[in-house]
Chains A and B, each alone.
Chain A
Amino acid sequence: MSALASIRPDSWNFPLLVHVLGAMILVGTTITFVVAELAAAGTPQPERMRRFAFRTLLFVGLPALIIMRVGAQWLYSKEFDGASGDDPSWIGVGYGVSDLGGLLFLISLVLAGFASRKARSGLGRAAGVTAAICLVGWVVAVWAMGAKPS
Chain B
Amino acid sequence: MDLNDWILALHLLSAFALVGALTLFSILIVALWRADEPAKIDAFMRMGRIGNVLVIAGVLGTVLFGVWLAISVDGYAVWDGWVIAAIALWAVGSELGRRAGVAYGAAGARAHEAIAAGANEPSPELAATFGPSPALRFHIGSSIAVLLVLIDMIWKPGA
Q: Which residues of A contact B (CB under 8 A)?
A: 1, 3-5, 10, 13, 16-17, 20-21, 23-25, 27-29, 31-32, 35-36, 39, 43-45, 48-49, 52, 56, 60, 139, 142-143, 145-150
Ranked 3 nearest A-B pairs via Cβ: A28-B23, A28-B20, A146-B9
A56 near B27 with CB under 8 A, answer yes
A3, A17, A31: the one within 8 Å of B24 (CB): A31
User: Chain B 49-79 against A: per-residue CB contact (8 Å), 1 yes, 0 no?
Assistant: 0100010000000000000010001110000
Q: A13-B155, A28-B24, A143-B13 are in contact. Are A36 and B47 (CB under 8 A)?
A: yes
A146 near B8 with CB under 8 A, answer yes
B119 at the interface (CB under 8 A from A): no
With most chain B CB atoms within 10 A of its CB, the pick from A13, A32, A60 is A32
- Looking across the interface, which residue of chain B has its beta carbon closest to that of A3? B5
Q: A28-B23, A29-B23 are in contact. Are A4 and B4 (CB under 8 A)?
A: yes
- Complex Cα distance, B31 from A24, in Å, reads 20
B140 at the interface (CB under 8 A from A): no
A39 surroundings in chain B (CB, below 8 A)? 46-47
A4 near B23 with CB under 8 A, answer no
- CB-defined A-B contacts under 8 Å, sample of 9: A3-B5, A4-B69, A5-B74, A17-B150, A28-B22, A31-B23, A142-B12, A147-B6, A147-B8
- Complex Cα distance, B19 from A16, in Å, reads 16
- Looking across the interface, which residue of chain A has its beta carbon closest to that of B6? A147
Q: A5-B74, A142-B13 are in contact. Are A32 and B43 (CB under 8 A)?
A: no
B46 to chain A, nearest CB (A): 7
B39 at the interface (CB under 8 A from A): yes
A10, A16, A148: the one within 8 Å of B5 (CB): A148
**Count of A-B contacts with CB under 8 A?**
106
- Complex Cα distance, B74 from A91, in Å, reads 25
- Complex Cα distance, B150 from A13, in Å, reads 11
A139 surroundings in chain B (CB, below 8 A)? 13, 16
B74 surroundings in chain A (CB, below 8 A)? 5
B98 to chain A, nearest CB (A): 19
- Complex Cα distance, B9 from A74, in Å, reads 22
A20 surroundings in chain B (CB, below 8 A)? 150, 154
Q: A3-B8, A17-B151 are in contact. Are A24 and B15 (CB under 8 A)?
A: yes
Q: A52-B31, A147-B9 are in contact. Are A24 and B23 (CB under 8 A)?
A: yes
B1 near A149 with CB under 8 A, answer yes
B139 at the interface (CB under 8 A from A): no
- Looking across the interface, which residue of chain A has its beta carbon closest to that of B2? A1
Q: A13-B154, A16-B154, A142-B12 are in contact. Are A1 and B23 (CB under 8 A)?
A: no
- Complex Cα distance, B65 from A147, in Å, reads 13
A44 near B43 with CB under 8 A, answer yes
B16 near A45 with CB under 8 A, answer no
Q: A142-B12, A149-B1 are in contact. Are A28 and B43 (CB under 8 A)?
A: no
